[in-house]
Amino acid sequence: MLDFSILTDYFDLYLQGLLNTIKISLIGLGGSFVLGTIIAVMRIAPVRIVNWIGACYVEFIRNIPLILIAFFFYNGLSAFHINLSGFTAGTIGLSIYTAAFIAEAIRAGIQSVDRGQMEAARSSGLTYIQAMKYVILPQAIKIVIPPIGNQFLNLVKNSSILGVFAGFDLMYFGDMIHEKTYVTFDTYIFVGAFYLLLTIPLSSFVRYLERRLARGY
Amino acid sequence: MDFSGAYSADHLIYLGKGFIVTLEVAFISIIFSFIIGSLVGTLRYADIPVLSKIMAVGVETIRNLPLLLIIFFTYFALPEVGIQLSISLATIAALTVFESAMISEIVRSGLSSIPKGQIEAARASGLTYIQTLWHIILPQGLKRMIPPLVSQFISLLKDTSLAIVISLPELLHNAKVIYNGNVNYVTPILLLTALMYFVVNYMLSLLSLALERRLDRDGKIKIAS
């Protein structure tokens, strides 16, 4: 039977970890959304070299492990006399990694809008930027939201790698509680439960959005 | 800054050894999780009264947990209840559990995407349910599953790097051992390591594209959608 006294005795530590994981995930979402949008626009911009840079970013980052990117920011920058905390390095790594996936989701969304829409907007005298902003993006958003929701879910789970860098997330606090209790099994079962508290509602919501948006308005 | 010496023969051999461990662990886990994931996905699709519900709860729980936690738990917590696994077995077990859950969802949604009329037509032509599943639904579903399956395998290969927390001597672990000795080695070693991951994964994604095109061309597996 699980020892619930661990949960009650160290509830404030679990809670602190949970709140930090939420904080990291939200910062990561903001960062990766901004970066991802820039990369997506680069990938479809009418300039070949810019396309290519965007494509390289996506293909390279998507095909290497997140934890490697985080290690680069945590260990790699000290050769250049920049020392980042585990929290900062981990959050930057998460944003850079997730941005590649978000960029792909946004690009797919934009490209699923009929070509004629862009042509019509341009021939009505809108500039490329205006056509994007007022015609293409509002239509693409609907298609893009569910996959971004899924990426956010992955981001929440992936934020656990901050535990490796003393990044003050839920995993890190789990480790801290473990050092006090010397009970591994129960301590981490509760850590898992706290993650589920975040991810299960989130994944149900994403699924709801998928169904809702697939039906159209 | 002195980068020279980062790519010495000793270092390259050590990285190569780590790379082999990564590939081995990933390969074994891909095989296991593909078998278990297909089985669970098909059973969930078949909608067997109690069993499918239990599986749904299990799959949802595992999918919504961080893999890092599962790896950590498998190696450090299971011995407390009498299950002691070696580092590599613990990694393979944790990866298999997590990825099977992911793959079962891919298989289930791939099968569900086949129009119901196909089943009705097959059953009406006198095929049994199993025959329908095997000859009609699976071949068509498989084609739709290939892209998400391959990207899941790529994820799995990348995720083997998480086993660094239990000191599996895989690629990233060995890279870290090398650069821990010299701060100037961090960037060149991590760059080479990233390239090694990239090459395998990029080849996998190209393979997936080629496979998709091939199946598109084949008249045998053509979907009317």
DSSP assignment string, B22-89: HHHHHHHHHHHHHHHHHHHHHHHHHT-HHHHHHHHHHHHHHHTS-HHHHHHIIIIIGGGGT----HHH
Amino acid A140: pLDDT = 84
B79-109 residue pLDDT tens:
999 999 999 999 999 999 999 999 999 999 9
- One-letter amino acid for residue B19 of the chain: F
pLDDT over 80 (residue A37): yes
Average pLDDT of the residues of chain A: 91
- What residues does each domain of chain A span? 4-215
| Residues 34-63, chain B, touching A (beta carbon < 8 A) | 60-61, 63
DSSP state of B133: I
Instruction: Give the Å distances, CA to CA, from A176 to A16, A89, A194.
Output: 12, 20, 15
- Superfamily of chain region A4-215: MetI-like (1.10.3720.10)
**C-alpha to C-alpha distance for A116 and A118, rounded to whole angstroms:** 5
Residue B223 lies in a domain: no
Q: How far is CA A24 from CA A37, A64, A76, in A?
A: 20, 21, 21
**CA-based nearest residue in chain A for residue B78:** A185
Residue B194 lies in a domain: yes
Q: Which of B67, B73, B194 sits opposite A64 (nearest CB)?
A: B194
Give how far the C-alpha of residue A52 lies from the chain's centroid of Cα atoms, to the nearest Å: 23
pLDDT in tens, A174-197: 999 999 998 999 999 999 999 999
In this predicted structure, the answer to whether residue A19 has a pLDDT above a threshold of 60 is yes
**What is the CATH number for B112?**
1.10.3720.10
Closest CA to A19 of A177, A216, A168: A168
Cβ separation B80–A183 shorter than 8 A: yes
How many angstroms separate the CA of residue B79 from the nearest CA in chain A? 9
Mean pLDDT of all residues belonging to chain B: 90
Confidence of residue A13 (pLDDT cuts 50, 70, 90): very high
User: Per the structure block, which two tokens stand in for A80?
Assistant: 């250049």
How close, in Å, is residue A46 to chain B by CA atoms? 25
Least trusted range by pLDDT, from A64-78, A127-141, B195-209? A127-141
* Inter-chain residue contact A161 with B190, CB threshold 8 Å: no
CA distance B145 to B53: 23
- Structurally, chain B folds into a number of domains equal to 1
Cβ pairs A/B, distance under 8 A? 111
Q: What is the distance between the alpha carbons of residues B208 and B149, in angstroms, rounded to a whole number?
A: 9
- The answer to whether residue B225 is domain-embedded is no
Return the residue of A nearest to B158 by Cα.
A65
Give the pLDDT score at B217.
67
Number of other residues whose CB lies within 10 A of the CB of residue A5: 11
Q: Does B58 fall in a domain?
A: yes
Angle between helices B49-63 and A184-215 (to 10 degrees): 100
Residue B3 forms part of a structural domain: no
Inter-chain touch B65–A195, beta carbons under 8 Å:
yes
* Total residue count of chain B as it appears in this document: 225
Closest CA of chain A from B127, distance in Å:
32
> Is A64 close to B67, i.e. CB distance below 8 A?
no
Nearest Cα neighbor of B88 from B24, B44, B138 is B24
Does B184 contact A at CB distance below 8 Å? yes
| Selection from A83, A71, A90 nearest residue A27 by Cα | A90
Domain contains B139: yes
State which residues form the domain around B168.
9-217
- B109-165 pLDDT per residue, tens: 999 888 888 888 988 988 988 888 888 888 888 888 988 999 999 999 999 999 999
Residues of B in contact with A174 (CB under 8 A): 69
Quick one: tokens of A132? 């994007």
Q: Which residues of A touch B193 (CB under 8 A)?
A: 68
Whether A191 sits inside 8 A of B64 (CB atoms) is: no
Task: Evaluate whether residue B184 is within a structural domain.
Answer: yes
Cβ pair A160:B164 closer than 8 A: no
The reply to whether residue A163 touches residue B183, judged by beta carbons under 8 angstroms, is: no
Which residues of A are less than 8 Å from B77 in CB distance?
184-185, 188-189
> Are B198 and A64 a contacting pair at CB < 8 A?
yes
Query: Which residue, among B62, B72, B207, would best test binding to A if mutated, counting the most A CBs under 10 Å from its CB?
Result: B72
Residue, of B190 and A211, whose pLDDT is higher: B190
